């Protein structure tokens, strides 16, 4: 049976596009939601023929207002969404959305978590001087880039790399593993289980 997916993005939307075009098994991207009226992802959605919507996120910069987060959750539930994929959403999900979709929200992050959570993970890894960078798809648990890991892939750091060349290669890997992780979830091969710390 088909799994209805909503992708939540604030920016360019290349991972959104990869999920629309990739092999996600029984998963199908039903809608793109954004908190940014100028998100490139909105233009991509119309080019890809995917329904899209800007929803007001509230007055804060890095989280939702409580009322607004309730509205987003209600919107997704009413639409019959079964899986929420964050793809560059620049906000923490904590309350109503997490409660409504616990174990059914995924995120993609451009580092081998738990190393380098937060902003500019690729720059953090590059400046630290790691020799192996990478990306992670994980379930969301209310922290910043924490939660049970579903898939990871490594990307070697080359002697010739700068931050941006490394980030570009990581992004290509992100596109590959996001679809794979979504497919695994939709086929029941990935399930949420609390991280033991
Ligand atoms: C990606 O690097 C993703 O890992 C991070 O935000 C970026 C979004 O890029 N969470 P795009 O909008 O999908 O191109």
150 in Cβ contact with 114 (< 8 Å): no
Ligand 1 atom nearest the C-alpha of 17 is 13
Question: To the nearest whole number, what is the mean pLDDT of the chain?
Answer: 97
Q: Which residues fall within 8 angstroms of residue 64, CB to CB, at 6 or more apart? A: 35, 57, 58, 72, 91, 93, 94, 95, 97
Give the number of domains in the chain.
Answer: 1
What pLDDT score does 187 carry? 97
Indicate whether 190 pLDDT > 80.
Answer: yes
Residue with tokens 């960078």: 133
Indicate whether 197 pLDDT > 90.
Answer: no
CA of 15 to the centre of ligand 1 (A): 6
On whether residue 191 sits in a domain, the answer given is no
pLDDT over 90, % of the chain: 95
pLDDT digits (tens, 9 = 90+) for 24-82: 999 999 999 999 999 999 999 999 999 999 999 999 999 999 999 999 999 999 999 99
pLDDT digits (tens, 9 = 90+) for 98-129: 999 999 999 999 999 999 999 999 999 999 99
140 in Cβ contact with 93 (< 8 Å): yes
Q: How far is CA 145 from each of CA 67, 69, 90, 106, 137, rounded to the nearest angstrom?
A: 23, 19, 11, 10, 10
Q: CA gyration radius for the chain?
A: 16
Q: Out of 87, 164, 166, give the residue to mutate to test ligand 1, the one with the largest number of ligand atoms within 8 Å of its CB.
A: 87
Indicate whether 97 pLDDT > 90.
Answer: yes
Residue 109 known to be catalytic = yes
State which residues form the domain around 47.
Answer: 3-186
What pLDDT score does 194 carry? 83
Rounded-to-integer distance, Cα 84 and Cα 182, Å: 10
Indicate whether 94 pLDDT > 80.
Answer: yes
Q: Spell out which residues line ligand 1, taking CB within 6 angstroms.
A: 9, 11-15, 87-88, 108-110, 171, 174
On whether residue 28 sits in a domain, the answer given is yes
Catalytic residue, chosen from 102, 109, 138, 175, is 109
Q: What is the CATH number of the domain that holds 79?
A: 3.40.50.170
Q: What's the average model confidence in pLDDT over 165-192?
A: 97
What pLDDT score does 195 carry? 84
By residue count, the chain amounts to 197
């Amino acid at each position: 049976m088909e799994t209805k997916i909503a992708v939540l993005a604030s920016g360019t939307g290349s991972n959104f596009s990869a999920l629309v075009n990739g092999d996600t098994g029984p998963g199908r991207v039903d809608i793109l939601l954004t908190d940014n009226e100028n998100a490139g992802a909105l233009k991509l959605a119309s080019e890809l023929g995917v329904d899209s919507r800007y929803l007001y996120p509230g007055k804060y910069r890095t989280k939702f207002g409580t009322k607004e987060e309730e509205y987003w959750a209600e919107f997704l539930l009413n639409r019959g969404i079964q899986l929420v994929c964050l793809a560059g959403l620049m906000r923490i999900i904590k309350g109503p959305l997490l409660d409504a979709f616990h174990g059914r929200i995924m995120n993609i992050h451009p580092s081998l978590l738990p190393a380098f959570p937060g902003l500019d993970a690729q720059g953090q890894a590059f400046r630290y001087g790691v020799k192996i960078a990478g990306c992670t798809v994980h379930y969301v648990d209310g922290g910043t880039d924490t939660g049970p890991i579903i898939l990871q892939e490594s990307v070697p750091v080359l002697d010739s790399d700068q931050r941006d060349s490394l980030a570009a290669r990581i992004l290509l890997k992100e596109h590959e593993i996001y679809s794979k992780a979504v497919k695994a979830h939709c086929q029941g091969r990935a399930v949420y289980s609390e991280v033991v710390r």
